[in-house]
């Protein structure tokens, strides 16, 4: 069994060969699905816990505190302890809720997270699904998540939740436009919507550098819109705790609240991973041109480390926003999107088209 940290294709292939040599094709597929499913559940749980821990440490550093440091070395077990506490809490069904929708909403939110993550290439060969409309599929599924939030707001029978849900709907649907348009800008440059094609197209330089000014504009807009999509500060109106106490998840407790909580952090990962894939080359190491000594030195670091390095940098940036900026108001959020980001984005698409047509990119 050939194994290399640099390329997982051989590993996947050898597992597949080993399984299909002794099993029927149907059972091979079922077992492969089960393995992949368990791996994703583990990844979401562990990376979600890591992100919660990271956020507590990052915000502590920004706020001149120490952060969790009692449970385990550097407080590393603290989030696990908190998560166990959350799981053991009573699940409360308040009076007057629409039980079916109330119970359904957290599952919709967490399910979209799993579907999107299955599209991401973590390293060469570490990707579950890869079809020719990959980017489109990711944006399409990510807009399903808002349905869960709207349902949670509607079904909770709470005025705070309702306002939070409506705000969330207005905000996420608006910012989907910016996310979509800045992705279109980059698709013009890459020439493909297939995620592996986008990543492979950046072997001789990341799209952020290849696309000159329009790529940089699209990058900034994507980060702003992506932050808004994740409902994080300064765009955390749907749960704006100083006005709405908890927003759409005010009435949720226990495991259902944990789903919303986990989904929020995994959405943060999804946005950072999309930025990484589309602008920063996915798992591609930092390359300039082809076949020089600099590229060879960069190749020493395994692609999976490159991927998570880039993702964590973007996550750090988004966390930094949250802990420094005051919250925007609902009309200002919509003004920012419809009056500024959308026109800039439309103009940027034309600019990118001109750049690609004239061959100014490299």
Partner 1 sequence: MAEYREIIFNSDKIQTDDYFVNIGPQHPSTHGALRIVAKLEGEIVQSIDPVIGYIHSGIEKMCESLSYPQLIHLTDRMDYLSAHMNNEAVCLCIENALQVEVPERVKYIRTIMDELTRIASHQLWWCATGMDMGAMTTFFYGLRDREPILDIFEETCGARMTFNYNVPGGLMFDIHPNFQKRVKDFIRYFRKKLPEYDTLLSGNVIFKERTKGLGVLSKEEAIAWGVTGPSGRASGYSCDVRKLHPYSAYPYVKFEEKLATDGDTFWRYQLRIEEMWESMKIIEQLIDNIPEGDFAVKMKGVIKLPEGEFYQRVESARGEFGVFIVSDGKKNPYRLKFRSPGFSNLFVLNELVKGVKIADLVAIMATLDLVIPDIDR
Binding positions for partner 1, rule: CB under 8 A: 59, 62-65, 96, 159-160, 163, 167, 233-234, 236-237, 240-245, 323-332
Q: What ranges in the chain are assigned the alpha helix state H? A: 9-22, 25-62, 78-88, 99-117, 134-142, 145-155, 159-190, 195-200, 207-210, 212-229, 241-244, 254-278, 293-298, 303-324, 330-335, 342-358
262 or 328: CB nearest partner 1 = 328
CB of 330 to partner 1, least distance (A): 6
CB of 145 to partner 1, least distance (A): 22
- Min dist. Cβ of residue 16 to partner 1 (A): 48
- Nearest of 111, 46, 106 to residue 76 by alpha carbon: 46
Tell me which DSSP letter residue 248 carries: G
Which tokens in the block code for residue 140? 């399409």
Q: Residue 97 or 126: which CB sits closer to partner 1? A: 97
Q: Which is nearer to partner 1, 44 or 244 (CB)?
A: 244
- Shortest distance, position 17 Cβ to partner 1, whole Å: 53
Instruction: Please state the closest distance from residue 138 (CB atom) to partner 1, in A.
Output: 29
Report how far residue 334's alpha carbon sits from residue 32's, in angstroms, rounded to the nearest whole number.
44
Handedness of CA 101, 107, 111, 113 (dihedral sign): positive
Give the pair of three-digit tokens for residue 215. 């790529």
| Nearer residue to partner 1 within complex by CB, 211 or 247 | 247
Nearer to partner 1, 62 or 213 (CB): 62
Shortest CB 240 distance to partner 1, Å: 7
- Taking the least distance from each CB to partner 1, the nearer of 243 and 299 is 243
Q: Is the peptide bond before 327 cis (omega within 30 degrees of 0)?
A: no
């Amino acid at each position: 069994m050939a194994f290399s940290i640099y390329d997982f294709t051989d590993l996947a292939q050898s597992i597949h060969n080993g399984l299909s040599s002794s099993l029927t094709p149907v059972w091979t597929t079922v077992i492969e699905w089960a393995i992949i499913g368990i791996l994703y559940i583990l990844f979401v749980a562990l990376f979600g816990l890591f992100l919660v821990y990271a956020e507590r440490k990052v915000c502590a550093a920004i706020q001149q505190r120490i952060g969790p440091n009692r449970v385990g070395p550097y407080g590393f077990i603290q989030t696990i302890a908190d998560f166990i506490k959350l799981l053991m809490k009573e699940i409360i069904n308040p009076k007057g809720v629409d039980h079916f929708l109330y119970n359904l909403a957290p599952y919709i939110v967490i399910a979209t997270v799993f579907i999107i993550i299955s599209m991401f290439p973590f390293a060469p060969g570490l990707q579950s699904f890869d079809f020719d409309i990959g980017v489109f599929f990711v944006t399409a599924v990510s807009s399903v998540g808002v349905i869960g939030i709207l349902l949670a707001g509607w079904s909770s029978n709470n005025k705070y939740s309702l306002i939070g849900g409506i705000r969330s709907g207005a905000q996420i649907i608006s910012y989907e436009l910016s996310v979509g348009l800045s992705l279109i800008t980059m698709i013009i440059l890459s020439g493909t919507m297939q995620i592996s094609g986008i990543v492979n197209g950046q072997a001789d330089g990341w799209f952020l550098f290849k696309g000159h000014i329009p790529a940089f504009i699209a990058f900034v807009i994507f980060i702003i819109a992506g932050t808004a999509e994740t409902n994080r500060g300064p765009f955390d109106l749907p749960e704006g705790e100083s006005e709405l106490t908890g927003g759409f998840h005010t009435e949720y407790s226990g495991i259902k609240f944990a789903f919303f909580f986990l989904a929020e952090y995994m959405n943060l990962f999804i946005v950072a991973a999309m930025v990484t894939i589309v602008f920063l080359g996915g798992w591609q190491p930092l390359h300039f041109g082809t076949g020089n000594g600099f590229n060879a030195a960069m190749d020493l670091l395994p692609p999976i480390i490159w991927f998570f390095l880039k993702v964590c940098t973007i996550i750090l940036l988004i966390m930094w926003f949250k802990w420094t900026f005051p919250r925007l108001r609902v009309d200002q959020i919509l003004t920012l999107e419809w009056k500024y980001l959308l026109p800039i984005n439309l103009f940027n698409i034309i600019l990118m088209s001109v750049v690609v047509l004239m061959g100014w990119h490299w």
